Amino acid sequence: MTKPKPKPYDERTDAEKIQSQWVKLTGLHGRTDWSAAVVRAATATEITANLAIRREYAALGTLDAKGVDQELVRANGLKGKMELLLPLLKGSNKYEVVKGLTKLATTIYDKRNAIVHRGEFCSEEEATELIGYCEQFVHGVVRLYDPNFTLMLCSTDDA
């Protein structure tokens, strides 16, 4: 019996993309490719910000999907997306939760950029710590929109 093909990445929801990144990083971390695992975890956090921004714009009804996508491209990176998201949340109960995750987001953004743009590496200890920060961020934000969301760890590379 053959394993069913996964849904093409571009057709996945943001939540499914976050999960795919998490599955991939689990495999990378298990193979001691710690820096690549951190980049995948940071990517999951950025997609998490995308999810929140899309949901907030949908609730406001001010931009269509294409307009939201353009805003996400302009925001560029987790830092830019946090700067876009926080004003959207102002006055809501979500604002304080996300504001409280800003320090984690900055740490994640800085380490990801150090790896990607300066070629830095990280140790297993650093990677494990940063992935934990990413998990806190992802759960903290996504659960504002889907309280039952949980990142699943997987031993296969089916992302």
Residue 154 lies in a domain: no
48 in a domain, yes or no?
yes
Give me 50's structure tokens.
């995308």
- Give me the mean pLDDT over the 40-46 stretch: 97
Is 69 within 8 Å of 39 (Cβ atoms)?
Answer: no
Q: What is the pLDDT of residue 159?
A: 39
86-108 per-residue burial string, b: 16 or more CB within 10 A, e: under 16? eebbeeeebeeebeebeebbeeb
- Within a domain: 46: yes
Check residue 155 and give its pLDDT: 38
pLDDT of residue 88: 96
What is the CATH number for 111? 1.20.120
Domain count, the chain: 1
Residue 79 lies in a domain: yes
Reduce the DSSP state of residue 93 to 3 states and report it: coil
Q: What is the pLDDT of residue 3?
A: 78
Residue 7 domain-assigned (yes or no): no
Domain hosting 34: range is 14-145
Query: Which residue shows structure tokens 């949908």?
Result: 58
pLDDT in tens, 110-152: 999 999 999 999 999 999 999 999 999 999 999 999 999 999 8
pTM of the predicted structure, to 2 decimals: 0.91
Token digits for 7? 């849904």
Residues 19/49/42/12 CA torsion (nearest 10 deg)? 30
156 pLDDT above the threshold of 50: no
Unique residue bearing structure tokens 């820096």: 35
In this structure, is residue 3 part of a structural domain? Answer: no
Q: CA-based angle 150:127:94, to the nearest 5?
A: 40
What digits encode the pLDDT tens for the residues 57-105? 999 998 999 999 999 999 989 999 999 999 999 999 999 999 999 999 9
